Structure 1
Amino acid sequence: MAASEHPSDMPIHVASSELATSDLKRLSDWYGRTLGFEVIDETSSRTVLGLGGTALLSLVHDPDAKSAPRSATGLFHNAYVLPRRADLAAFLGHAQTIGVQLTGASDHLVTEAIYLDDPDGNGIEVYWDRPRKDWPLGLAGDIRMATDPLDLESLMIAMPPEGEARLPAGTRLGHIHLKVADLAAAESYISGVLGFAKQVDYPGAGFFGSGGYHHHVGANIWASRSGAPAPEGSAGLRSYTVTYADEEGLSSAVERCLQAGFEVQESEMGAAATDPWGIEVQLVAAS
């Protein structure tokens, strides 16, 4: 395990994602106003957003993009992890101030999380990790997770005197949660090909992580069991980036992709493949 417990310091992590939208300006402005994301790079057809100079989300313009059916596979949510519990409290206060409609607030035992949707209906989770020593374990040493109501009163007590309207610069994409058609196929790809270990079994879902982290990738069939990939040209998730600690880890992942029958192409960053749900996966090395 890495000396740090942060998800982005594990041997494999998910660094960023890319969404297609028919209204680039509206979505970019929303992420700026609601999450405090800054424009890192911008063209007429693409905007890269992030915090503190770290890219977290790319938005690509597709004027014909339309919402996919609810039963289609694809994105369940992008999940942004905050450095401190106080940051989550500050974000909750900010969301209330600007009138953001939350879709949920949960205590997952290992995390506390707030949920919302962007204007295109892409799910977002904002959360903080409890210290790893406090994660509950089962008899076999497996990580236990649940979906309990979040104690909002307790969280608000943790709000700093002057809460920031933006997420802090240390925010990262802690995990990505996917809607899949079949959990066995998801495990075969996320674990067997990408290299994440199965960490948590959950009703209708599986959670996969690296370095003992509860999950860098989640997969569920709650609305997408036996579902088809989103139609070509749909709005929503187009790609996500999986980062390996070094070139050796990247090379091993590429080899597993090829052995499993997935086509791999060289990309500007490293390699690119398409997952079983039609989503491009950028495979890169941190060093």
Structure 2
Amino acid sequence: MTKLPFAADAPVSVAAVGIKARDVNALADYYKDAVGLAEVSRRPGVIVLGAGGLPLLEIEEFRAARPDDPRAAGLYHTAFLLPSRLHLAKWTRQAIDRRIEVTGASDHFVSEAIYLTDPEGNGIEIYADRPRDAWSYEGGGLKIGTVRLDVDNLLGELRPGDSAWVGAPEGSMVGHVHLRVGNAGEAERWWNDELGFDTIMSLGGSAVFLSTGGYHHHVGANSWQSAGAKDRDPDRSGLSFVEFRSKTAAKESVHEDPWGNVVRIVPA
């Protein structure tokens, strides 16, 4: 890649997400088929998936795990950022043709996104950013919202002769991760104070969006379903860790947010 996407060209950006699965092979097959990830490597009990050879998702087998609880702390969704709107249009066209089940489709002004849920209940976002010079600001802050995605307009990116979707292309990445927490205000303070992330937007105390370098968000944290949640149960499937790449970190470090969601920081 000659130019990093804005999400990656920041002091700290998302590198990969780890999830614990009750059926590692079935879950890996879903991400290959529905998201378009490719197998990068495997070791006993672990399958690593990615795009262009870059690891993005580590799935670890945990057969004895109880199913993830959506009311508890954990993973709300992993957001896979495609390199362009055209790539999102190609993914959408084949998803419609193949009747891949989706749970939502939204225009967030700074990005366009389509949502899925994997077979073990982990949320997925597939999205493309609008160019940064097209982002709007009001009241001193970045304008982010949620309206219905204009799918017909998105599909208008496609032209006769365009190549078909053949999987997540080189340059795809985890653009952001969205976590379930017990209290969004407490999460905001933790990400501000512990890891130095900036608050981009807060939604009435129920959700907060944070980033480094001015990106719309590398991290979301909400209590929409999980208000008052206590420590994450390690015996459940779902989130294992989120790994961030830091341009300033001198060594690897491991942190836990107030609910036990594991955050790894590795040097860029």
Length-normalised TM-score, structure 2: 0.94
Unaligned runs of 5+ in 2: none
- CA–CA distance in structure 1, aligned partners of residues 7 and 70 of structure 2: 29
Unaligned runs of 5+ in 1: 252-268
Letter in 2 for 1:209: S
Q: How does 1:1-287 map to 2 (within 5 A)?
A: 6-140=6-140, 142-160=141-159, 161-203=162-204, 204-245=206-247, 249-250=248-249, 270-286=252-268
Runs (4+) of structure 1 exceeding 4 A deviation are none
Alignment deviations for residues 165-206 of structure 1 (CA, whole Å, 9 cap, x no partner): 312111000000011111221011112111110011224211
TM-superposed deviation, 1:282: 1.2
TM-superposed deviation, 1:25: 0.7
TM-superposed deviation, 1:68: 2.5
Contact residue 73 and residue 261 of structure 2 kept, 8 A: no
Letter in 2 for 1:194: L
Alignment deviations for residues 29-59 of structure 1 (CA, whole Å, 9 cap, x no partner): 1111112211111123101110111000000
Residues 37 and 5 of structure 1: CA distance in aligned 2, closer, same or farther (over 3 Å): closer
Contact residue 185 and residue 208 of structure 2 kept, 8 A: no
Match of 1:255 in 2: none
Alignment deviations for residues 234-276 of structure 1 (CA, whole Å, 9 cap, x no partner): 110010101111xxx225xxxxxxxxxxxxxxxxx72222222
Letter in 2 for 1:129: D
Identical residues among aligned pairs (%): 35
TM-superposed deviation, 1:5: 5.1
Contact residue 51 and residue 168 of structure 1 kept, 8 A: yes
Alignment deviations for residues 94-128 of structure 1 (CA, whole Å, 9 cap, x no partner): 21222211000000010000000111110000111
- CA–CA distance in structure 2, aligned partners of residues 162 and 104 of structure 1: 26
- CA–CA distance in structure 1, aligned partners of residues 98 and 196 of structure 2: 40
- CA–CA distance in structure 2, aligned partners of residues 163 and 20 of structure 1: 32
More off after superposition, 51-60 vs 220-229: 220-229
TM-superposed deviation, 1:163: 2.2
